[in-house]
Amino acid sequence: MSDPADGRAEPEGLRLLVVDDEAQILELLDLTLGLHGFRVATARSGPHALSAAQAATFDVIVMDVLMTPWDGFETVRRLHAALGCAMPPVVFLSGLSRPEHVPDLVTEYLVKPFRPSQLVESIRRVVQARSR
């Protein structure tokens, strides 16, 4: 567990929406983040993510970039249009290097493969930045 005095966000109770169109990756992220104390909901596409985000509140969205029918960037644009200022921060996951131009709504961008600890730290950073 992290000490609140050290400035790191506690994962307990943080609700994550994890979006990936590959079932195995989605299951792995669900399990890994759950073991780190996060409460995880999953979505297998951009449209499913939009429905989930309209039905529940999330602290962070963890999003794959390469998906269909909407890629991760299009999904974030649609989420932002629907949620406005209630849009949680986004951690993007991609097998591709970070593109030169990414939407302003992208808070973190991790390139696969990454260690689970890197993802957890990215989530903590976006939560901490949002609370400032």
Let me know if residue 4 belongs to a domain: no
Let me know if residue 3 belongs to a domain: no
Nearest to 43, CA basis, from 9, 110, 56, 4: 56
Let me know if residue 16 belongs to a domain: yes
In total, how many domains does the chain have?
A: 1
Cβ 15 vs Cβ 58: under 8 Å: yes
Let me know if residue 87 belongs to a domain: yes
User: Residue 57: its pLDDT value, please?
Assistant: 96
Query: What is the overall mean pLDDT for the chain?
Result: 87
User: Residue 77: its pLDDT value, please?
Assistant: 93
Let me know if residue 5 belongs to a domain: no
Indicate the pLDDT class of residue 51, thresholds 50, 70 and 90. very high
What range defines the domain where residue 75 resides? 11-131
Q: What is the pTM of this model?
A: 0.86
Q: What is the CATH number of the domain that holds 36?
A: 3.40.50.2300
Let me know if residue 53 belongs to a domain: yes
Let me know if residue 1 belongs to a domain: no
Euclidean distance between CA atoms 97 and 54, whole angstroms: 30
pLDDT tens sequence across 8-33: 455 668 999 999 999 999 999 999 99
Average pLDDT over residues 51-58: 97
Let me know if residue 45 belongs to a domain: yes
